[in-house]
Structures are given as C-alpha cells and as structure tokens.
Chains A and B, each alone.
Chain A
Amino acid sequence: MSTKGKVSFLKVGILAAVMIVGLVFIAVAQEGPIKLGAVNPLGDITGAQSTKAMELAVAEINAAGGILGRQLELIVIDSEFDAAKGAAAIDRLATVDEVDIFIGGMSSGVHLGEIPTLKKYEKVTVWAGAASSLVEEAMEGEDWYFHLHPWDYLQGGSYVQGWADISAQYPLIDIKTAFWAYEEGAFGSGSYAGSLVAHDAWDNVGESFKSAVFGGGDYRSVLRHAQEIDPDIFIWVGYGADALPIMEQAREIGFAPSLFVGSPPGWPADFGESPLAEGVVAYGMWAPSMRNISPVSDHFWNAYIEMHEEEPATYFAPLGYTNVYVVAEAITRAGTLEKEALIAALEETSYDSPLGETLTFTPSNLIEHQGFQGQKILQWQDGSQQILWPFEFATALPHFPYTGR
C-alpha cells in the first residue's frame, strides 16, 4: 500500500473511531437515569418520611447496579398539602423534568386536584396514598393507574373483620355499642359516614368536635356525651394534635371506656411516653414492632435509621419504600419503560413489603389495580405500637379493658 493509501486508511479509521465514540455518547445520553417523579407534602411528617424512605430505596437500588444498567433518579416536589400546587408539580415533573413514572403522594383532597393533570399525560402512575373512594371514582377505567393505600371502604371493612376476629378470639371483647367522636371537617365526617356503613352491626352514636387543627381543643362536652352513652368502644377520628389532649380530658372527667380507639393520620411524637397512651387502640398499616416478625421490615427499619438518623414514625415511610421497589421491580421485569409492557409487569407484582403483606395488584370496586386491601389494628403498649390484628402479624396480645397507667 502506498503512503497516500496508508494516510487515507488512517483518516477513515480515525473518522470511524470518532463516529463510534459519538454514537456511544449519544446512546449513553439517551440512556440517562430512569426518572421517578413524586409529589409529597414535605412539611408534614407523612410526606417527609415517605420521601426519605423513597431516597433510601433509590440509594439501595443504585448501589446494587441500578435497573436495566441505568441509575434511578428521584425527583420530589412539595405539594404543601395544596391541590393546586400538587397539580402544578405534576405538570412540572412531566414537562420540565420529563419523569418516566409518577409515584408517591398523599391526601385525597390534594390528589383529586392532581388527577386532571395526571390524565393529561397518562404516564404510568403508582400512587402511594389518598384513601378516598372519590379518587377511585375519578380514576375508573385508567389502566395506567396503580394505587397502593387501601380505599376508605376497604379500611372500614378491615376494621369490621378485625374486631369480629378479635371478639371471636377474646370473648371478653364484645362490642355492641360504639361512640364515634369525629372532627367536624371533611376528614372526620367522611370517615364517620363510611364507618357507619361498615359497622352497621353495632349500635353507633356519633358526635363531631372541633379539632385543635382548626382552633378547637376542648373535647370535654363530646367526652361527657360519650360517658352518658357508656359505649363498649369509643373511637375518635381526628388529628395527631388532638391525641394527647383528648386522653387528658377524658381522664379529667373520669371517662375510661373499655376500648379507647384513636384514628389520626399520624400520632404525635411524645404520645407513647404518656402513661395515658397505655392500652389505646390505633389503626394503621404498619407499626415499628413489625420488624420483630418481618425480615424485610427489619431491614427497612435499620437501613432507614442508618441513612437518616431518625426512626420511621409513620406507615407512610415503609409505604414510600414499597412504592419505589414495586416500580423498580416492574421495570426490571418489563425490560423497558414502554407503557404497555410496564403496565403488564406491574400487574405481575408480588412484592414482599416491609408493611408485612405481599403486595399484589387486584381489582377494587372501580379500578383495576388496587394494592393493599386493609389496615391493621394496633395497640399502644409500653410506649410503642404493637400489632393485634391480623393475627398472622400480631406482635402482642390485646390489653383489655383500657385503663391507662
């Protein structure tokens, strides 16, 4: 080969190498991180801890090599518990951040505001919170929508089943009359209305009160009315801010029902330290004691504390962790982010969650992809929540009747 020919060959070789390197760069650029977009209320402990748990899950997955050879990227926007801000966040995540999948979220009111925007993009969505069946109605027929938290009627159904099972197991616990003290806002009155339907076998009496969240905080009149009824079970549906004052005021007037049940979305930080908490029954999807019986929950508990130097205190933390893992495993199964393949892969979900249950998606009343089917019945014992029901997750025997300490 002549010198001229050699030079030409060299030029072609360099050009080819440059083109290959360029193509690799383009390919790598296209294969950037898989983006998960979440909208959580970061100022609230539910949103803050859910986000931290999501970060933990993403860190674990990335440390194990990512998914499909790509890293996961979590982009979280604060909804500030505001429906308009939640909707704007979805818009931003879809257009500016160009996320692949929507995850996270809590509060039915906020989510109802976000739904029209979600429908505009129709991206695969695996939503963690929002229990209202109004959300379910709004998402009817949307095959790209997967929902983790049990709907309100599923929660009601699980409580009915739970108390029936507990009564059957422990005949001393026999519930015939119930007094419901519910906060007068949408959360309390909605929960009460749903509970009446679910607990139709009980003789139910209800009365609203003004939550401390809305400037209330004096529960004595409603407690006195409950005292007059002398119910087998007293259930208050309010917020965490009501928890300790309601117990203190019950003690103040000498009201001590056999079953004292609280149903706030989150308990105050110091509640367990109060002797009045002893024996209070709670509803929730998870309790820290779950780590004693579930290796996944134990791993989650330890890893969360190691990463964030705080204990997970709300079930939205393991729910957020579950949220990321369910999506990650589905992407792995699908082998692609293509919508139809991803939906099919999510439908095959069988995830051993830190909440105890193995998560699968099954149809609920109106949507095709409902995750968890109910809540658990818990009880405050020695400063921490123990699981009473379902019995397969039970971490303690029930303390009955309620006496406080």
Chain B
Amino acid sequence: MTLLRKLQQRRYVTALVSMIVLVLLAVWKPYALIEGIQRGGVYSLIALPMALILGIVGIINLAHGEFMMLGAYFAYWLGVYTGLDPLVAIIPALAVFALIGAATYLLTIRRALKAPELNQLLLTFGLAMMAAQFANLMWTSRPLKPHLSYVYSSISLGSLRFGTYAFVYTGAALVLLAGLLLFLRRTRLGKAALAVGQNPRGAKLVGIDVNRTYMLIFSISIALVGAIGALFLTRHSVFPAVGSPFTMKSFCLIAMAGIGNLPGVVWGGFALGIAEAFVLSFRGYGGWADVVFFAVLVAVIMTRSYRRRVV
C-alpha cells in the first residue's frame, strides 16, 4: 500500500495526527504526556470490565464503581489481618469477587434481564446504594490507605523527574485489553460470549447456554473490577463513595468508544487522560479538566453520529 493510499484511509490519518500531537506534547509538556498516559491507564483499566458487561450482557452496571470500592476494602483488610500487600491481594480478590459476581447475577441481574432498561438501571443503582451504605456502616466514611513506599518510586531523566509506579495502571489496562481480546476471539467460551452478545436468540438456537454465559461474563467482570480495586488501593484512599465517580467516567468512555469496542475504551481513556493532564499543566486552569473531558466526549459522539449519517 502506498503512503498516499494509506493517508486516504481515515484511521491512518487519525494515527498520524495523534502521533504528531503526542510528539509535540512530549517536547512542550512532557509531564502532561507522562501523567496523561498514567491517568488514562486508570480510566481505561476501570472501564474495561464495565464495557465487557455492557457489550455482552447488555446491562449498564451502575454498581461498577462500588464493586471496585469493595475490592479496595477487601485488599485493605486482608492487608491489615494477614499483612498481604494489595498487589498480592489481587489474586484472592479475583476469586472472591468472581463468587460475589456470580451470586449477584443469580440473585438479582438474571431476574431483570427481560425487564425494561429503566428497571435494570434502577436495580444496579440500588445495588450501588446498598454497597456504599454497607461500607459506610462497616467501616464509616473515614478514608483508609496503607502506606506503600513503592508507589512513590520515580526516575530522573535530566531535569525531568516523574513517577514510575503509576505506569502499572497503563500496563494493566493494556494487558487486560489483550487478555480480554484473546479470550473473546480465541477461546470457545469467549466466542460463545461474543455470539450471545451479538444475538442471544441465535446463540440459544445453536445450543449456547445464554444464561450461563451471562453469568460467566458478569462474574468475570466483577472479579476483574474487584481485583482492580486492590490495585487502585495502592495509590488511592478507599472510602464508601470512592467508586461512584468512576462508574460515571467508565460509562462515558464506553459511550465514546461505542458499545462492544474494547480497544476503543482503552484508547479513549488514554486520549481523555492526556487531554486532562494537558489542561491541568497550565496553572489556574485545573477546573477546566472536567470540561475538557466532557467536551472531548461530546465531540467524539457527535462526530461518530455525523459519520453514520454520511455513510
């Protein structure tokens, strides 16, 4: 393919423009680029399990952030009672939250699958309220955070000094994306899940157990978000209301990427993270970060809508 033909394809133009912007940013505001990639990693990582549920089960899980909050509490208390580092607590969190996810699905979600979307929203909103109130009653609203010296590790490149630990979120987001894509495209279960997500009735006709697939995907997602809670705890405080803002951001990212578009969620997360970090790099303009976040979101959704109409 010649370079000219490549340029005629929209995705190559997008990639080229993105590269130019990133290079300019690296020269002009290197901190904004580094910290934006790290921020974007957090957003993408948290949004991916929600995207999985929405893409396959078709439910907007408004308790998504609360499951992450519970995962963070789980890791915190496991650390208090056993001395386990939150990074190690990721493994038991995966197992425990897979069970919690399965139980939540069987007791609540399954019964609302055929209900109107508003009922489903109310159900998951109710779960979110219950989880937050449970945490409040159990551990009060006092924030908790273990001291972990590795979270402020940093390196200096000339006059540039930046933290290195937060790249864990970036790496985890990319690894999770790769893992989910492999699971969905290369495994029998994953392919079945994709089929269910695209056409549940058709999947049922060819012998796929739709209900079991839904339960599996829901459990995997809750296990992932619980484990992400443990990872989140390493760098953030945990308190009952810590999760809800991330439910909102995750949903925005999914809306921006399009339902079922897992790579889009990750790239969108990085784009928004970098955009926010860029705005924040100007002193006195911190309050505009949210405006930029939602402006980018609105712009992307409108552009996609316009393109669909043109096509």
Contacts and interface: CB of A to CB of B under 8 A. Distances in A.
A207 interface: yes
A43 B141 contact: yes
A210 B163 CA distance: 19
Name, among B31, B240, B249, the residue most crowded by chain A CB atoms within 10 Å (CB to CB).
Answer: B31
B62 to A, nearest CB: 15
7 closest Cβ contacts across the A-B interface?
A215-B245, A221-B280, A274-B147, A252-B163, A241-B143, A241-B237, A252-B152
B286 A268 contact: no
Contacts of B277: 218, 221
Nearest to A272: B147
Contact of B144 (A210, A269, A274, A276): A269
- A interface: dominant SS: helix
Interface string A26-70: 000000000000000001110010000000000000000000000
A44 B242 contact: no
B199 interface: no
B152 A251 contact: yes
A212 interface: yes
A362 interface: no
A249 interface: yes
Given A212-B242, A218-B35, A245 B141 contact: no
B236 A208 contact: no
B185 to A, nearest CB: 33
Contact of A43 (B136, B147, B161, B289): B136
A276 B149 CA distance: 9
Interface of A: 43-45, 48, 184, 207-210, 212-215, 217-218, 220-222, 224-225, 228, 239-245, 248-249, 251-254, 266, 268-270, 273-276, 313
A351 to B, nearest CB: 28
Given A220-B35, A254-B154, A268-B144, A207 B237 contact: no
A218 B39 contact: yes
Contacts of A249: 152, 163
A245 B72 CA distance: 15
- B interface: dominant SS: mixed
Interface in B275-305: 277, 280-281, 283-284, 286-287, 289-290
Contact of A253 (B154, B239, B280): B154
A271 to B, nearest CB: 8
Name, among B137, B241, B248, the residue most crowded by chain A CB atoms within 10 Å (CB to CB).
Answer: B241
Given A245-B237, A252-B163, A240 B286 contact: no
Contacts of B239: 213, 240-241
Contact of B287 (A184, A220, A225, A251): A184
A222 B286 contact: yes
B145 interface: yes
Nearest to B135: A43
A129 to B, nearest CB: 15
Contacts of A217: 235-237
Given A215-B246, A268-B237, A43 B140 contact: yes
Contacts, number: 117
Contacts of A251: 152
Given A213-B241, A249-B152, A270 B141 contact: no
A273 B284 contact: no
Nearest to B241: A213
Nearest to A227: B161
Given A215-B248, A254-B154, A244 B147 contact: yes
A209 B283 CA distance: 11
B284 A207 contact: yes
B281 A45 contact: no
B241 A270 contact: no
Contacts of B149: 275
A315 B156 CA distance: 41
B188 interface: no
B151 interface: yes
